[in-house]
């Protein structure tokens, strides 16, 4: 029996729910006996997130490699974190140890324009990794502002739009909903 070709799924757009969609996919894949990895490019291990708590209990590998929002740390701190996250990602994806890999907020990282990132997270390397990953591996990339080059090679692109959001009414992030 041959394994099927892995898919590239991209969840992008300005609406809420991109990471949440990927989390649901991870749960579904685990339920089907798939080995799942999630790497978060922006979220920091210094904060506690509900998905990390439950994934640890379920046995889904999850790594938070970022240092938070781009305005919370220096460009040097972000660049160093992105460089480490990218090296870690390449190693994990090419290890062949996973059936599903979720690169959460990779689109956001690739869209950073407050400081240079191309030398620590080159788009051409991301595209190479997409093409060279193990053949049956499903790859999920989330985050706003997906690069056109990634959209073009994706098997599925879902753009999540904000129609209405409670942030606009001054309601802050909600425990159990956002984190």
> Longest C-alpha distance within the chain, in Å?
54
Render pLDDT for 129-154 as a digit per residue (tens, 0 to 9): 999 999 999 999 999 999 999 999 99
Task: Give the CA distances from residue 24 to residues 21, 51, 66, 107, 142, in Å, rounded to whole numbers and listed in that order.
Answer: 5, 10, 22, 19, 13
C-alpha 164/C-alpha 1 separation (Å) is 47
Half-sphere exposure of 60 (CA within 13 A, CB side): 29
Say if residues 147 and 111 touch (Cβ distance below 8 Å): yes
Token duo for residue 3: 């394994």
Q: Which positions ≥6 away from 87 have C-beta within 8 Å?
A: none
Task: Name residues of the chain where pLDDT drops below 70.
Answer: 1-3
**pLDDT value at residue 1:** 41
C-alpha 27/C-alpha 25 separation (Å) is 5
């Amino acid at each position: 029996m041959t394994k099927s070709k892995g898919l590239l799924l991209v969840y992008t757009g300005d609406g809420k729910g991109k990471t949440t969609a990927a989390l649901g996919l991870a749960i579904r894949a685990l339920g089907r006996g798939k080995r799942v990895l999630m790497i978060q490019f922006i979220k920091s291990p210094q904060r506690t997130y509900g998905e990390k708590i439950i994934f640890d209990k379920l046995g889904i590998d999850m790594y938070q490699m970022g240092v938070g929002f781009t305005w919370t740390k220096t460009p040097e701190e972000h660049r160093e974190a992105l460089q480490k996250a990218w090296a870690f990602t390449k190693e994990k994806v090419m290890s062949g140890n996973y059936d599903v890999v979720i690169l959460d907020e990779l689109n956001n990282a690739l869209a950073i324009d407050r400081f240079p990132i191309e030398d620590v997270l080159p788009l051409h390397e991301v595209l190479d990794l997409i093409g060279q990953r193990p053949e049956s591996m499903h790859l999920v990339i989330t985050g706003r502002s997906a690069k056109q080059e990634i959209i073009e090679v994706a098997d599925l692109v879902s753009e999540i739009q904000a129609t209405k959001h409670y942030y606009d009414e001054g309601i802050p992030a909600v425990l159990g909903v956002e984190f």
